[in-house]
Amino acid sequence: MATTTLEHDVEVSEAKPSAVKYVYFFGGGKADGNGKMKDELGGKGAGLAEMTNAALPVPPGFTIQTEACREYMRRGSVSGEVDRQMEEALARLEKLQDQQLGIGSNPLLVSVRSGAKFSMPGMMDTILNLGLNDESVEALARRSNNPRFAYDSYRRLIQMFGNVVMDIGKSAFDEVFEGKKKQKKAKLDTDLDAAALKEVIAEYKKVVKKHAKRDFPQDPHQQLIMARDAVFRSWQNDRAKHYRRINNISDDLGTAVNVQAMVFGNLGETSGTGVGFTRNPATGAKEFYGEFLLNAQGEDVVSGVRTPVHILELEKIMPQVYNQLREITSRLEQHYRDMQDFEFTIQDGKLYMLQTRNGKRTGLAAVKVAIQMVEEGLISKEEAIFRVEPNQLYDFLVPRLDEKSVKVEVLATGLPASPGAAVGQIVFTADEAVEKAGHGAKKNPVILVRAETTPEDIHGMEVAAGILTSRGGMTSHAAVVTRGMGKCCVAGAGDIEVNEKGREMRVKGQTFKSGDWVSLDGTTGRVIKGKLSTMPPKADDPELMKLMGWAEPFRTLKVRANADIPRDAIQARAFGAEGIGLCRTEHMFFGEEKIPHMRAMILADNEKDRRAALKKLLPMQRNDFIGVFRAMDGFPVTIRTLDPPLHEFLPRREDLMVDIATFSTLDAKQKKALIAKYRDYGAKAAGDLKKLLPALLSRVEQLHEFNPMLGHRGCRLGITYPEITEMQARAIFEAAVAVAKDGVKVFPEVMIPLVATLKEMANQAAIVNRVAEEVFKEKERKVDYLVGTMIELPRAALVADEIAKEAQFFSFGTNDLTQTTFGFSRDDVNKVLPTYIAEGILKQDPFAVLDRDGVGQLVRMATERGRKTRPNLKVGICGEHGGEPSSVEFCHQVGLNYVSCSPFRVLTARLAAAQAAAGDKLKGEAGRTK
């Protein structure tokens, strides 16, 4: 397909003029495009077109659409037709402005701005003041009668152009600039005068020459073409790719390029630039919200070079501008029927709008704003359901700091940039964050502390528990990105002095180093010394309940929780779980009083000893089940029989060998420690160890497997050691009967893991059914129950119609089903996954998002086949995927009865299931708020 497109393009560009409209003009009160054309114009371009059509004050310009970027990606350059249409649009702009790009006494200057369909904050860069060169800068100085402004603009251009287009590191320019500030004893960038800035320009040019081996280009048209192509290239940079990966944005979209006449916020004290939101994006409160800086340009507000001023201050400084801004932004909000995030610039007291878009917000804000907008009559309740991303509900579940138990020392208060609490050890760089945070079982909470974050920090931000910055506002990179991630962030804590090179931070006369503990409260902005504990949140927020109340009637898929112990079951029920979809019994055996019996059971090499050990386990297991059944009174509870390879409960072979080899050299104290280590295996005195250790080693060697994931586990355990299934079934039914006698409504569902054949299922079901009858007879009481299976092997999916003859329900264990379908080991997949995703071989981690094409097909097929045999077959899913919105949507589409997920994902799954069902009914497009 790629070839045909390519041929087509070549043919078109060489023959008659292309039918493709690459360039869309906006200005003079009218735009070629409009707000709906995000696919072509990107979000920014569509917004500029829409605002222009609404007669708002927008500097004129044109948008080169995303097709040109896709073309650039395919062939490495744009076609002549793009150049032609661009020159045409530029000529039109020059005419409208009565100026020429970079030429004459009143030169036209433009910005070159990237803008994709979905906003990618800070991922791609913008170039301002393009068109300036050694000549036009003098013209600008004369014309504005403000040489300082002209040189400031020029040095900014060289800096941005050098960085974005010529790939020169920002630090090379920063060094020059900071050096000049030091030399001139200037505190702020605005303290440098025209003469100093001229020196900066001269030095910047040297930096360009040195790093790029060429001069800064003086020809304005050449600047424009180079800048445009650099924006196209930036679509493929690592930061952009990474951002797209985290946010599930397709790599194929491409970005548009906006070329727009400059307006200047750096003309002096009657000029400025700012950003804002029509409502508070952290809390959702209906208040005008934002920040601005006088005598500043572009990114100054968000980059943290100076600390910005609250937008309400603008009312005092320039009341007319303030009122106009309020009027315009409320109009935009009404028009888009959503909270807007906007950019503006004031040039000599005149207001210009530079951007508007639906604002990113926290989950708390998303719910609040959705409800407000329904009450204001702006949107319907059905629309409101889609205004919240299911994953965002997690924000309601973020922990708070427990401040009662300890003395709290507040080190500093910054901005409450992203809510929740985070407690962790300080790290100062993104790489250090990745290194110290670890993964899997060895995860450590780290707090990434930076003066300010940049897109280069994204990998560190992803693994950190929380982010703390000393500079930047509520719209800084750190704030915006963490809100998107649902991660706690305190930004702009100005009292903290961060020394990234020296790896320390100083505040209140104290010094903190890498590894020291701090606690962050992202809801109030406080930075607290030391390691506080956190408290679980409450999920009964009245506004959340209200929104869920609107969503729930649509939902047809049931939501259950995966919970092994009564405490988790109670928690899950509070979040609205309608049963347990997976209760893993092996977790019950790790308790202190149980593990010795469990180990005795495993070590037994004959049935008699095994039965003796199992007998001790039975009452403990029964008690666990009683607790879970009680917590889920009225709802079904699915209990899985023992699943993992047995050696997970035993010491490692290597450890045993070392202990045996070194035993004779140990002193008394060391021997004592060794006895303690093996107490669970029956060691009481040093003498015991002599016999015990070799016996243990030999059993461990017997149990050793080359590939335990595919080994002696699942129903294979219950088939080789039927007495294990027997004991577990007995514990389940004795518990069920016991609670039923107390009036608890109990519905046990016994689930056999890792079944591949009908006979395996039949074998285990026979044991369960026999034990059930025995227990019911003994206790003179019956309960309703089901025996079913997990579908987690491709073979099981293939012969699902057979298996359904014996299985009364299916539950897709999509973790194992993904492992076995792909042949990926989940624990090892990270060696290949990053490359696979970077290369586009896989779009997503299939262990996070259900692979619809492959694994999903098995799910669909097994459901259909199973129901052919047993029309009322209950089917659910109990992998990690059960709480992931897109996978939940798929489960709804396939017609499953329920999804089951971890307790903290229950709310998310409920909303995702409701959205999936409402989407069927409303044919509405799910609104992306992130």
Which residues here bind ligand ADP, judged by CB under 6 A?
59, 111, 113, 122, 126, 128, 260-263, 273, 298-299, 343, 345, 354-355
Strand order in the sheet with 446-450: 410-413, 526-529, 517-521, 421-427, 446-450, 466-469, 488-491, 415-418
Q: Of 426 and 491, which has the nearer Cβ to ligand ADP?
A: 491
Considering the complex, what minimum distance in angstroms separates the CB of residue 126 from ligand ADP? Answer: 4
CA distance 912 to 921: 14
* Contact positions vs Mg ion (CB under 5 A): 126, 355
- The whole-angstrom distance between residue 523's C-alpha and the CA centroid of its chain comes to 19
CA distance 259 to 88: 13
CA distance 900 to 913: 12
How far is residue 92 from each of residues 19, 86, 88, 222, measured CA to CA in Å? 20, 10, 6, 18
Q: Residue by residue, what is the 3-state secondary structure of 155-215?
A: HHHHHHHHHHCCCCCHHHHHHHHHHHHHHCCCCCHHHCCHHHHHHHHHHHHHHHHHHHCCC
- CA Rg value for the chain: 32
Secondary structure letter of residue 925 according to DSSP: P
Say whether 647 is catalytic.
no
Q: Of 111 and 136, which has the nearer Cβ to ligand ADP?
A: 111
Q: Of 347 and 821, which has the nearer Cβ to ligand ADP?
A: 347
Q: Of 61 and 846, which has the nearer Cβ to ligand ADP?
A: 61
Considering the complex, what minimum distance in angstroms separates the CB of residue 303 from ligand ADP? Answer: 9
Residue 750's binding partner out of ligand ADP, Mg ion, none, with CB under 5 to 8 Å set by partner kind = none
Q: Of 298 and 788, which has the nearer Cβ to ligand ADP?
A: 298
The pair phi, psi for residue 613, each rounded to 5°, is: -70, -40
- The answer to whether 580 touches 563, Cβ cutoff 8 Å, is yes
Q: Other C-beta atoms within 10 Å of 852: how many?
A: 17
Considering the complex, what minimum distance in angstroms separates the CB of residue 824 from ligand ADP? Answer: 37
Considering the complex, what minimum distance in angstroms separates the CB of residue 131 from ligand ADP? Answer: 11
Say whether 901 is catalytic.
no
Considering the complex, what minimum distance in angstroms separates the CB of residue 602 from Mg ion? Answer: 59
Considering the complex, what minimum distance in angstroms separates the CB of residue 93 from ligand ADP? Answer: 11
Residue 354's binding partner out of ligand ADP, Mg ion, none, with CB under 5 to 8 Å set by partner kind = ligand ADP
CA distance 292 to 314: 8
Residue 731's binding partner out of Mg ion, ligand ADP, none, with CB under 5 to 8 Å set by partner kind = none
Residue 262's binding partner out of Mg ion, ligand ADP, none, with CB under 5 to 8 Å set by partner kind = ligand ADP
Residue 278's binding partner out of ligand ADP, Mg ion, none, with CB under 5 to 8 Å set by partner kind = none
Q: Which pairing describes strands 874-877 and 898-901: parallel, antiparallel, or unpaired?
A: parallel
CA distance 685 to 674: 10
CA distance 55 to 534: 51
Q: Which residue has the tokens 């926290």?
A: 362
Q: Of 354 and 790, which has the nearer Cβ to ligand ADP?
A: 354
Residue 345's binding partner out of ligand ADP, Mg ion, none, with CB under 5 to 8 Å set by partner kind = ligand ADP
Residue 564's binding partner out of Mg ion, ligand ADP, none, with CB under 5 to 8 Å set by partner kind = none
Considering the complex, what minimum distance in angstroms separates the CB of residue 391 from ligand ADP? Answer: 24
Q: Of 355 and 929, which has the nearer Cβ to Mg ion?
A: 355
How far is residue 654 from each of residues 547, 651, 660, 697, 699, measured CA to CA in Å? 55, 9, 10, 9, 13
How far is residue 95 from each of residues 91, 219, 522, 858, measured CA to CA in Å? 6, 20, 50, 62
Q: Of 52 and 260, which has the nearer Cβ to ligand ADP?
A: 260
Residue 3, class by beta-carbon neighbours within 10 Å (0-12 exposed, 13-18 middle, 19+ buried)?
exposed
Considering the complex, what minimum distance in angstroms separates the CB of residue 125 from ligand ADP? Answer: 7
How far is residue 208 from each of residues 176, 213, 222, 456, measured CA to CA in Å? 12, 7, 16, 22
Q: Of 111 and 126, which has the nearer Cβ to Mg ion?
A: 126
- The CA-based diameter of the chain, rounded to the nearest angstrom, is 103
Considering the complex, what minimum distance in angstroms separates the CB of residue 433 from ligand ADP? Answer: 24
Considering the complex, what minimum distance in angstroms separates the CB of residue 330 from ligand ADP? Answer: 20
Residue 343, class by beta-carbon neighbours within 10 Å (0-12 exposed, 13-18 middle, 19+ buried)?
buried
Q: Residue by residue, what is the 3-state secondary structure of 517-557?
A: EEEEECCCCEEEECCCEEECCCCCCHHHHHHHHHHHHHCCC
Considering the complex, what minimum distance in angstroms separates the CB of residue 301 from ligand ADP? Answer: 7
Residue 703's binding partner out of Mg ion, ligand ADP, none, with CB under 5 to 8 Å set by partner kind = none
CA distance 584 to 647: 17
CA distance 67 to 889: 31
CA atoms within 13 A on the CB side of 591: 12
| 781-807: b (≥16 Cβ within 10 Å) or e | eebebbbbbbbbbbebbebbbbbbebb
Residue 643's binding partner out of Mg ion, ligand ADP, none, with CB under 5 to 8 Å set by partner kind = none
Residue 189's binding partner out of ligand ADP, Mg ion, none, with CB under 5 to 8 Å set by partner kind = none
Considering the complex, what minimum distance in angstroms separates the CB of residue 112 from ligand ADP? Answer: 8
Q: Of 355 and 562, which has the nearer Cβ to Mg ion?
A: 355
Residue 573: both structure tokens together = 């029920």
Q: Which of 878, 881, 891, 901 is catalytic?
A: 878
Alpha-carbon torsion 83, 85, 87, 89, what sign? negative
Sequential DSSP letters for 353-376: EEEEEEPP--HHHHHHHHHHHHHT
Residue 159's binding partner out of Mg ion, ligand ADP, none, with CB under 5 to 8 Å set by partner kind = none
Question: 702: Cβ–Cβ under 8 A, 6 or more apart, which residues?
Answer: 605
CA distance 909 to 879: 13
Q: Of 180 and 477, which has the nearer Cβ to Mg ion?
A: 477
Question: Alpha helices, DSSP H only, in 664-780?
Answer: 668-677, 686-703, 715-720, 722-741, 758-779
- The answer to whether 255 touches 116, Cβ cutoff 8 Å, is yes
Q: Of 240 and 388, which has the nearer Cβ to Mg ion?
A: 240
Q: Of 146 and 355, which has the nearer Cβ to Mg ion?
A: 355
- The answer to whether 637 touches 749, Cβ cutoff 8 Å, is yes
Considering the complex, what minimum distance in angstroms separates the CB of residue 360 from ligand ADP? Answer: 12
CA distance 604 to 36: 70
Q: Which of 69, 242, 477, 881 is catalytic?
A: 477
Residue 113's binding partner out of Mg ion, ligand ADP, none, with CB under 5 to 8 Å set by partner kind = ligand ADP
Positions marked catalytic? 477, 878
